[in-house]
Amino acid sequence: MEQEAKFSWSSIFEEAGNQVGFMGSFVRNMFRGGFEGNELIRQCYNIGYKSFSLTAITGLILGMVMTLQSIPTMKQFGAVSFVPAMVSISVIREIGPVIIALICSGKIASSIGAELGSMKVTEQIDAMEVSGANPIQYLVVTRIIACTFMIPLLTLMADALALLGGYIGANLGGHISLLLYFNKAIASLQFSDIFPATIKTIFFGFAIGFIGCYKGYNSNRGTESVGVAANSAVVNASLWIIVLDGIAVQLTSIFAYS
């Protein structure tokens, strides 16, 4: 039993060490000459544009459901007029970034993990390396940067659609004009709600790209490992998002709301 615990700890430290090494390799190659601009654009398209519909629908329904769920309770307190403000603050501060990041970790981290994992299994990464090209620069740097750029944009777009969804939800059971709804929703928001929430999505994006690349690039040989890489990329990226969110909330509480 003690031996199992020891093995577990050593593998955790080994994994942490490997991740730090991979991070170092990413940083070193990011500032090296021969940046892969075209591949970065292609990855931004794959990661951003191809996730647009998923995140848009999620955002829209998220706002609508939150509004519909809140109205009956708020009615009891005679505070229905606060629903737009409540939905906008909760979506923009917390629910929007986290939900979109978790959805993207399922879609993007798994896809990166599986893609790089299968490239590893079929020796494409080795082929790149032995040809003298730099696989980290071509495969890893571009994907991590694309995720870091695109996740905040997707989140901002989903947040806006969540407010629109809130407006639709409010109009399903009553009537409120678009202008009034958005006035109430936006008037309640402050810079300290939007800025920290957007900053944390940059870290979420980085975590999704980094974990996806790390798991795929370091997968074992054999077809089974492609599935393992995709699965562990999602699990680890989701875990990192939750942990980073916890840290971000603490930091925001200290610096933004104190």
Partner 1 sequence: METKTDTEQKVLPDKGAENNKEVVIKIEHLKKSFGSNEVLSDITVDLHKGENLVVLGRSGQGKSVAIKCIVGLLYQDSGELTVFDQDVKSLNETELKELRMRVGFLFQSGALYDSMTVRENLEFPLTRVKKMDKKDELDALVNEVLEGVGLPDAIDKMPSDLSGGQKKRIGLARTLILKPEIMLYDEPTTGLDPITSREISELILQMQKKYQTSSIIITHDLECAKITGDRLVVMNDGKFIAEGTYEELENSKDELVKSFFIKK
The two three-digit tokens of residue 258, written as one number = 């104190």
CB atoms closer than 10 angstroms to residue 154: 27
**Of the two residues 133 and 247, which places its CB atom closer to partner 1 in the complex?**
133
- From the list 184, 169, 201, the residue with the least C-alpha distance to 64 is 169
Q: Kindly state the smallest distance separating residue 28's Cβ from partner 1, in Å.
A: 10
Q: Kindly state the smallest distance separating residue 43's Cβ from partner 1, in Å.
A: 11
Q: Kindly state the smallest distance separating residue 135's Cβ from partner 1, in Å.
A: 10
**Of the two residues 7 and 195, which places its CB atom closer to partner 1 in the complex?**
7
**Of the two residues 139 and 151, which places its CB atom closer to partner 1 in the complex?**
139
Q: Kindly state the smallest distance separating residue 114's Cβ from partner 1, in Å.
A: 12
Q: Kindly state the smallest distance separating residue 207's Cβ from partner 1, in Å.
A: 24
**Of the two residues 100 and 121, which places its CB atom closer to partner 1 in the complex?**
121
At position 59, the amino acid (one-letter code) is G
DSSP string, 172-195: HHS---HHHHHHHHHHT--HHHHH
**Of the two residues 3 and 38, which places its CB atom closer to partner 1 in the complex?**
38
Return d(Cα 191, Cα 208) in angstroms, integer. Answer: 26
| CB 185, CB 170: distance < 8 Å | no
**Of the two residues 82 and 138, which places its CB atom closer to partner 1 in the complex?**
138
Name the residues that contact partner 1, by CB under 8 A. Answer: 34, 118-119, 122-124, 126-134, 138
Region of 115 (left: φ > 0; alpha: ψ -120 to 50; beta: rest) is: alpha
Q: Spell out the alpha helix ranges (H) of the chain.
A: 2-30, 37-47, 52-76, 83-90, 96-104, 110-121, 124-130, 135, 142-173, 178-187, 191-217, 224-255
Q: Kindly state the smallest distance separating residue 234's Cβ from partner 1, in Å.
A: 21
